[in-house]
Structure 1
Amino acid sequence: MIEHRDLTHYKKMRWKNGAGYTFELARSAGDDLDAFDWRISMADVKTSGDFSKFSGLQRILTVLEGQGLVLHIDGEARQLNTLQSVQFSGSSAVSCKLIAGTVRDFNLIYDPQKLLARYHWITQTSTTEIFSSADLVFIFNQSLEALEIIIDQQIFHLKHQESLLIDQEKRLKSIVLTEQQLKQTCLIELTKI
């Protein structure tokens, strides 16, 4: 199954701690914030404060837009600017301090006991070909320019912040991200253990 997702497919929901809203781009199953194997989301962080905990899960967060933030993860400070990422345990005590105004971030949360994850930002402008046999592949276009993707000779076009979900396609796939002037694409591969 290959599914093209745009902003109308994304589900707006409250953060687990109630302090803001997330746009859920995709998830393994269900609606409960304590019962999923993986979840991909985008959130607008409008104020400094604490992050929700997701015990037993792993998190990867990337700043998409804004002037950046400083994350305090179990007491250690880490500054993130645009397209910089950090990985941390969902059980960690995490808070953020905004540097200068609202930040939009992008998140993968997954169960490391069930899944192997590959999370990679592709920024080179030239055509990129990837071969993947992952159980699930998720491609997200952050560039303002449309991205053309060719998967086994099928062509897809992703506008800004649109995504492609490739699920239950265990066979080896050829994924071609064509030349793009300012490529800002996140490729997530999830493989069951």
Structure 2
Amino acid sequence: MYAIKSPDKFITTPWKNGLGETTELAINQGASLTNFDWRISMAKVTQDGVFSDFSGYFRQLILIAGNGINLQHKSPGSERAIGKDKLTHVLDIAEFDGGNQTFGELINGEIIDLNVITDSAKVVSQVTTVTEQQTITIETDERLLLYPVTDKLNITVQEQSFTLARGYLFHWLSDDSKNLQVSGQNFILIELSKK
């Protein structure tokens, strides 16, 4: 069983640190902004600044619009950088501990990013970004989401074929094994599994 969610069904809430807004695409059932197993969201970043503290969570951040952002990560209470990421192309991805003190510096104007945030103790997330036109077959029994960034996607599942419009979210809702065929470019594939 699957669902297709249109952008008008996404929910906008304040950032955890109050410095902006996030658009929630999907979250595990019964969750809240401060207590969840996994969450998929988008954010428009309009100025340099510190990211919200998500201690205990793992973050995967994908650039989906704009000229890019530099990220610098520090351990809490430390002044020494423990990692850096530079996202300059659409679908570039950064992966980091949500408990880090992460500072984002815009490269040339605002950006939009997509965030996959998972409870490190409960969920493993695998994020794949596809930039070239191709057809892939997905065989998995894990929770799966697809998000086309710039173009539509053609999807075949259970002998049904349909088109997923740009900016819509495809969400496989059951834990049953599935076989999907996806054809397109510039999309994000997210697979979530329980630890």
Aligned twin of 2:92: 84
Aligned twin of 2:64: 64
> Is the partner of 1:79 in helix, strand or coil?
strand
Instruction: With the length of structure 2 as denominator, give the TM-score of the two structures.
Output: 0.91
Counterpart Cα distance in 2 of 1:45 and 1:29: 27
CA RMSD of aligned residues (A): 1.3
Counterpart Cα distance in 2 of 1:30 and 1:102: 32
Cα pair 2:45 2:112 within 8 Å, conserved: yes
Aligned twin of 2:148: 141
Residue identity matched to 2:146 = I
Cα pair 2:153 2:165 within 8 Å, conserved: yes
Counterpart Cα distance in 2 of 1:28 and 1:12: 16
Counterpart Cα distance in 1 of 2:127 and 2:154: 20
1:89-114 Cα distance to aligned partner (Å, 9 max, x none): 11100011111111000100001211
Counterpart Cα distance in 2 of 1:166 and 1:137: 5
Aligned twin of 1:42: 42
Residue identity matched to 1:13 = T
1:105-156 Cα distance to aligned partner (Å, 9 max, x none): 010000121112211112231221111111x10100012x321111121223
> Is the partner of 1:188 in helix, strand or coil?
strand
Moved more, 114-123 or 90-99: 114-123
Residue identity matched to 2:93 = S
Residue among 149, 155, 161 paired with 1:155: 161
Aligned twin of 1:97: 105
Cα pair 2:31 2:37 within 8 Å, conserved: no
Aligned twin of 2:182: 177
1:4-38 Cα distance to aligned partner (Å, 9 max, x none): 01111110111000111111000013463221000
1:52-73 Cα distance to aligned partner (Å, 9 max, x none): 0111010000111101011111
Instruction: With the length of structure 1 as denominator, give the TM-score of the two structures.
Output: 0.92
Query: Which 4+ runs in 1 deviate beyond 3 A?
Result: none
Cα pair 2:91 2:131 within 8 Å, conserved: no
